[in-house]
Amino acid sequence: MSAFQPSEIDRPTLARDRSAADADLKSVSAALRRAELGDRMRSLLLAAPLLVLLALSFGIPIVLLLSRAVYDPTIADALPKTTAALAGWNGQGLPGDDAFAALAADLKENQVKGTAYELAKSLNARLPGARSQVLKTVRKLESADGQAALDTMKSVPFWSVPSTWPVIQSGTSSLTSFYLLSALDLRWNADGGIERVPPEQAIFIQVFLRTFFVAASVTLATLILGFPLAYLIANVPKGLAAILTVAVLLPFWTSILVRTAAWTVLLQKFGLVNDFLLLIGVTSDRLDLMYSRIGLVIAMTHIQLPFTLLPIYSVMRTIPPSQMKAAYSLGARPFTAFRRIYIPQVFPGVMAGCMLTFILCLGYYITPALIGGAGDQLISNFIANYVNVELNWEMAAALSFILLVFTLALFGIFARVLGLDRLKLV
C-alpha cells in the first residue's frame, strides 16, 4: 500500500483553515473599520451644524464680498448692444459708427429702464468724470433717433476722446482686475501693461503703509511695556502675581469700544492726559491729542497690551529661575545670561504676542474712527467708508481682498510656525 501522503490530505484542510482565518481577520478588521467609520461619521455629524452655520454666516458672505472685487457685470448688463459692437474692436483709435449707434441705443434703453444713473456711477468709478457726461448725453438723446442719435453722440466731445472707449470695452467684460489694481494704486495702460496711477490719484498704498506703520508702532510699544511686566509677574510670589495678573486682565476683559470711549475722555484738550503733562512740566501748552496719530497709537497700545503680554507670560512662567542662577554661577554676567539663556527660550512667546497684536492691529476700525483724525484712518475705515458713503462695493471688496490676504498670510505663518495653542484670545 502506497504510503498515504498525509500532507496531501492536510494541505487543502490547512489551506481552508488559513483562508478561514484570513477571512475572519478580514471581517474583524472590516468590522473595526466600519465601527471607526461610524464614529467618524458621528463626529462629523456633531460638528456639521456649526460648520454649516459658519459657512452661511461667515464663509459665504466673505466669498461673496471678495467676488465683487473681480466680478462687476453692471456695465456689461447695461450696455448689451455696445458689448456686441465692441466685440471685434482692436482698441486702437475710435471704434466705428456702429459702436456709437449701439451706445446711443443702450443709453436710451437705460434711460427708459431708469438705470442710467447706476451706469453713470459705475463708469465714473473707472473713468473719472464719466458720470456727468453720461447723464448729459442721456438727456440730449431723449428726442433723438437714428442718424440724429449718432450725431448727438458725436456732438459730445467726451465720446470722441480715444481713451474713453478702451474703458468702456474693458467694462463690457464682467470679470475685471480694475478694482484690485486700483486698490494697489495700479492701472492698465494703453499698451496693455500695468503702471502706477499718477501721484495725485494714488491713495491706497499710502493707507496700507499707514496701517502697517501704526500696527508696527503699537506692536513695538506693547512689547516695550509688556515684556518687563510679564517678567515681573512670572517671577514674583504667587499671591502678588495673581494681583498683577488681575491688573492685566481687567482692561483685557473690557470691550474695545468702552476702552476707546475712556480714551476719548482722557485725550480731550482739557482731559486728564493734558492735565498730567502740564503737571509734570513735559509741555507748557495743552496738546491736541484727540484726532491725532499719537492719541490713536496710545489708545491702541492700551487695548493691545494684554494680547502681547499674555503669550509672553505663559512662556516665561515655564522657565525655572534656577536656570539663570546656574548661568550666573558659571560666571555669566547678568546681561549675557539674559541674552543667551532667557531670550532664546521666551522668543516663541514674544513672537506669538507680537504677531497676534500686529495681525489684530491691521483690522482696527472702531478706535481709528473715534480717536484718529482724517489722516489716521486705517484700511478698515476706508472699506467701511466705501460701503457707507460712496456706495462703491467693488472698491470696498478690492480693499478687503488685499487686507484679508495680508491678515491670513500672517495668521498662516503664526499657525504653522508657532502653533494655534499660542493664540491667547481667551
Partner 1 sequence: MLLSPYPTTGERIRITLLWIWCGLVILFLLVPILIPVPLSFNSGAFFIFPLEGISTRWYEVVLGTQRWQSGIGNSLIIALGTTVIATTLGTLTAIALSDEKFPGRRIIMPLLLSPLIVPVVITAVGSYLFYARVGLASTYAGIILAHTALASPFVVVTVGASLTGFDRNLMRAAAISGAKPLTSFFRVMLPLILPGVLSGAAFAFVTSFDEVVVVQFLASASQRTMPLEMFIGLREKLSPAITAAATLMMALSILLLLVANILARRSRKS
Within residues 176-205, the interface with partner 1 by CB under 8 A covers none
Minimum Å distance from CB 186 to partner 1?
Answer: 21
Nearer to partner 1, 134 or 397 (CB): 397
In sequence order, the β-bridge partners of residue 186 are: 196
Minimum Å distance from CB 330 to partner 1?
Answer: 14
Our finding on whether 334 is near partner 1 (CB under 8 A) is yes
**φ and ψ of 71, to 5 deg:** -125, 110
Q: Which stretch binds partner 1 (CB under 8 A): 77-85, 88-96, 196-204, 236-244?
A: 236-244
Minimum Å distance from CB 38 to partner 1?
Answer: 11
Our finding on whether 330 is near partner 1 (CB under 8 A) is no
Among positions 172, 176, 392, 400, the unique one binding partner 1 when judged by CB under 8 A: 400
Among positions 256, 278, 319, 418, the unique one binding partner 1 when judged by CB under 8 A: 256
Minimum Å distance from CB 426 to partner 1?
Answer: 5
Burial class (CB in 10 A: 0-12, 13-18, 19+), 220: middle
Our finding on whether 216 is near partner 1 (CB under 8 A) is no
Nearer to partner 1, 147 or 323 (CB): 323
Beta carbons within 8 Å of 369's beta carbon, 6+ residues apart:
377, 381, 384
Among positions 106, 380, 395, 422, the unique one binding partner 1 when judged by CB under 8 A: 380
Beta carbons within 8 Å of 30's beta carbon, 6+ residues apart:
none
Our finding on whether 86 is near partner 1 (CB under 8 A) is no
Contact (CB, 8 A) for 337 and 344 = no
**φ and ψ of 282, to 5 deg:** -70, -40
Our finding on whether 11 is near partner 1 (CB under 8 A) is no
Nearer to partner 1, 85 or 234 (CB): 234
Contact (CB, 8 A) for 307 and 360 = yes
Q: Amino acid identity, residue 230?
A: A
Nearer to partner 1, 194 or 247 (CB): 247
Site string for partner 1, 40-69 (x = CB under 8 A): x--xxxxx-xxx-xx-xxx-xxx-xx--x-
Among positions 21, 31, 190, 247, the unique one binding partner 1 when judged by CB under 8 A: 247
Among positions 73, 348, 363, 373, the unique one binding partner 1 when judged by CB under 8 A: 363
Rg (CA), the chain: 34
Q: Which of residues 16-45 bind partner 1 (CB under 8 A)?
A: 36, 39-40, 43-45
Q: Which of residues 405-424 bind partner 1 (CB under 8 A)?
A: 407-408, 411, 415, 420, 423
Q: Which of residues 308-327 bind partner 1 (CB under 8 A)?
A: 321, 325
Give the count of residues interacting with partner 1 (CB under 8 A): 89
Our finding on whether 341 is near partner 1 (CB under 8 A) is no
Our finding on whether 244 is near partner 1 (CB under 8 A) is yes
Our finding on whether 272 is near partner 1 (CB under 8 A) is yes
Nearer to partner 1, 107 or 248 (CB): 248
Our finding on whether 73 is near partner 1 (CB under 8 A) is no
| Positive or negative: CA dihedral 223, 227, 230, 232 | negative
Our finding on whether 250 is near partner 1 (CB under 8 A) is yes
Nearer to partner 1, 62 or 194 (CB): 62
Residue 284's SS3 state is coil
Burial class (CB in 10 A: 0-12, 13-18, 19+), 197: middle
Nearer to partner 1, 89 or 411 (CB): 411
Cα–Cα distance measured from residue 405 to residue 410, given in angstroms and rounded to the nearest whole number: 9
DSSP output for 404-425: HHHHHHHHHHIIIII-GGG---
Our finding on whether 270 is near partner 1 (CB under 8 A) is yes
**φ and ψ of 247, to 5 deg:** -60, -30
What separation in angstroms does the CA of 230 have from each of 5, 117, 310? 84, 58, 7
Contact (CB, 8 A) for 207 and 382 = yes
DSSP, res 160: G
Q: Which of 72, 266, 268, 310 is nearest to 175 (CA)?
A: 72
Nearer to partner 1, 87 or 389 (CB): 389
Cα–Cα distance measured from residue 271 to residue 286, given in angstroms and rounded to the nearest whole number: 9
Among positions 146, 275, 340, 345, the unique one binding partner 1 when judged by CB under 8 A: 275
